[in-house]
Amino acid sequence: MESFLVSLSTVAVAEMGDRTQLLSLMLAAHYRRPWPILAGVLCATLANHFIAALIGVRLGRFLTPTVLDLAVGISLIGMALWALKPDTLEEDRGRRPAGAFVATLVAFFIAEIGDKTQIATIALAAAYANLAAVVAGTTAGMLIANAPVVFLGKAFAERLPLKALHYVASGLFLLLGVLFIVRALHGRG
């Protein structure tokens, strides 16, 4: 039970203000379908955190802080470029709930690669022997943090300037990516 509760609370706190929370807001504003989005978050998180937990259990001792910082930095720069990609799904809005699910599943899985919650999952899995409890806890923490954002995004989607959100998100991802890469290249000191 301890491994579940520690995993849940760690990820719920780490997710606050995280890039995947911003991604949830952008998806909610675009699709306006909270349940398929939450289902996508659930499935993507289960898959991503299960893989991360396996890495934590088996290979965690080989991952140095420098390698982790570099991986986070590169993934953030990739997210910055992705955030600038213009929307092409505008005409499908509100017609296909599977579109919201699939887009969320793919985007969320990719966004979690190198994310602090994925790294936390690796560390928690290395620390606790109960793989299932760690994955269940980190996934529950992710849902607790993202569900309100998904419903808030749906409620305020008409008022959100999506183009500006894409630019702000891209700038934030780029800045953080560069900071992580600089930290990796200069050591963590």
Give 118-175 pLDDT, tens digit per residue: 888 887 887 777 899 999 999 999 999 899 889 887 566 566 566 776 687 678 778 8
Total domains in the chain come to 1
The neighbour count for residue 164, using CB atoms within 10 Å, is 9
Q: What is the largest CA-CA distance in the chain?
A: 51
Whole-number Cα distances in Å, 33 to 13, 102, 162: 25, 12, 16
For 71-82, the pLDDT digits (tens) are 767 866 876 786
Q: How far apart are CA 166 and CA 151, in angstroms?
A: 19
Instruction: Kindly state the percentage of the chain with pLDDT values over 90.
Output: 28
Q: What is the pLDDT of residue 68?
A: 65
Residue 188 clears pLDDT 60, i.e. is over it: no
The model's pTM: 0.66
For 19-76, the pLDDT digits (tens) are 788 888 888 888 888 999 999 999 999 999 999 999 888 765 666 768 767 776 786 6
Cα-Cα-Cα-Cα torsion 108, 61, 12, 130, nearest 10 degrees, comes to 100
Domain of residue 116, residue span: 2-185
Q: What is the pLDDT of residue 136?
A: 97
Q: What is the pLDDT of residue 135?
A: 96
